[in-house]
A and B are shown apart, each in its own frame.
Chain A
């Protein structure tokens, strides 16, 4: 409890720190001089060709899928790595086996060209 209470207060304070500046311009800066051209999307001085929210490149999605695999791996490793001196050799070496399997997995990904951006 004691170690989390400052951070939970901080959790409230830090949004305030970033949200208060957002409100400050309202009393000072008026939007009266705003006109439609000023608010249109910037595309080098021309009206944009269509909507920006079209389908995007599949490879960005692929990168995020690739990320999902090693990220839990690392997350699993934290509870193992920290009391490394407290767990028995069986536990530590079984985690090594886990890491090894994941290494083989990423080597496979590499081999299949999932890591190529071409």
Chain B
């Protein structure tokens, strides 16, 4: 007899974009069997602003204030990649001091990003209080940014061939003080969170990504390093001056949410180590390669006369991108942030393709949440660490 198997009525639920834990405007269509997740389909695009297309009719300088809106929690990285592309395309040297300033800013930004990962991640598990603690430290980082760049979030600080302004007087001491203070903050988080039995129960063995799997999905950043692969572009690509400083790649081998948590906590203390060394060893000299201001315009620039300085105050509107193409990448807090850039011997880039780490890392979500519990969606999504501004662009 042909009796059909008992049809299970599965519940299809919309989660997001208006959902408290969808980290912005991610929409998941979740198929539930009671508390079990049968299927999960992410739907993107609620924050799409055409970032890539906008880049195609802006000069780099015009585009720079806008890039911080990709990943608005790790703003320095988006600026860094925006200037690194043209710099490498035009083979422009960056002064040592500028490179050190960039490292300091990038690592501060990495800490800020990881902090604003930690708070919502804990809130996703149900602990609201760490959210307030991380804001305490994050405010200090933003104070530092404000002192150096004039802006707290959307800095517009990086320039082709350097940075927009030198560090103000006393900033280095302020930053050193922050480093000392922040280490106590991390200890506090670890005391509060790391060995909490309920926290461990919720994250251990949840969302396990194997090393092989992580490579196949193209994961990067802490997602990859938590799966036992020691891949950090700061070591691999040796950009800026990271090779001059003494630090280690943070990694774990379990590949679950706890491992990702530990990697990020480790990276915060490691970043502090980098910042401290960079602050101690920061050299003098120019903070910007002024040559590039006058790129391809004047044959024999006269140094130090009035006109040179006058021009040097202005951003070069006529910076020309060579008719070449390249892919540049930095190790952003969320993973590998890259740009595929095609120049067309004009002031606008011909193509500006962004490789957002959050977008690539998010792809593995449906596979990770299948056969898990409803509550695990939030744990796994939280541990992936996405910013919808960057995913949708």
- A–B contact via C-beta, under 8 angstroms: yes
Binary contact track B1-13/A, C-beta < 8 Å → 1, others 0: 0000000110111
Would you call B34 an interface residue if the criterion is a C-beta within 8 Å of the partner chain's C-beta atoms? Answer: yes
A83 to B268, CA, bound (A): 63
What distance in Å separates the Cβ of A90 from its nearest Cβ neighbour in chain B? 45
Would you call A46 an interface residue if the criterion is a C-beta within 8 Å of the partner chain's C-beta atoms? Answer: yes
Contact B16 A44 (CB under 8 A): yes
B-binding segment of A5-13, A25-33, A49-57, A95-103: A49-57
Contact B14 A46 (CB under 8 A): yes
A49-B12, A49-B13 as given contacts; A44 in contact with B34, CB under 8 Å = no
Chain A residue total in the interface (Cβ 8 A): 16
A54 to B8, CA, bound (A): 10
Would you call B95 an interface residue if the criterion is a C-beta within 8 Å of the partner chain's C-beta atoms? Answer: no
What distance in Å separates the Cβ of B25 from its nearest Cβ neighbour in chain A? 10
Contact B33 A44 (CB under 8 A): no
Would you call B15 an interface residue if the criterion is a C-beta within 8 Å of the partner chain's C-beta atoms? Answer: yes
**Residue of chain B at shortest CB distance from A55:** B9
Contact B18 A56 (CB under 8 A): no
Could you say which interface size class chain B belongs to? Answer: 10 to 19
Contact B18 A44 (CB under 8 A): yes
A54-B9, A55-B9 as given contacts; A48 in contact with B14, CB under 8 Å = yes
**Residue of chain B at shortest CB distance from A43:** B14
A44 to B43, CA, bound (A): 13
A-B contact pairs, 15 of them (CB 8 A): A43-B13, A44-B18, A44-B22, A44-B27, A45-B14, A45-B17, A45-B18, A46-B14, A50-B12, A54-B11, A57-B33, A57-B34, A57-B35, A59-B34, A59-B35
What distance in Å separates the Cβ of B391 from its nearest Cβ neighbour in chain A? 17
Residues of A contacting B19 in the complex (Cβ-Cβ under 8 angstroms): 44
Contact A44 B9 (CB under 8 A): no
Please name 8 further chain A to chain B contacts, defined as beta carbons within 8 Å, in addition to the given A43-B13, A57-B33, A58-B34, sorted by A numbering: A44-B16, A44-B22, A45-B17, A45-B18, A49-B29, A50-B12, A57-B34, A57-B35
Interface residues of A in 56-76 (CB under 8 A from B): 56-60
Contact B12 A44 (CB under 8 A): no
What distance in Å separates the Cβ of B17 from its nearest Cβ neighbour in chain A? 6
A54-B9, A55-B9 as given contacts; A44 in contact with B35, CB under 8 Å = no
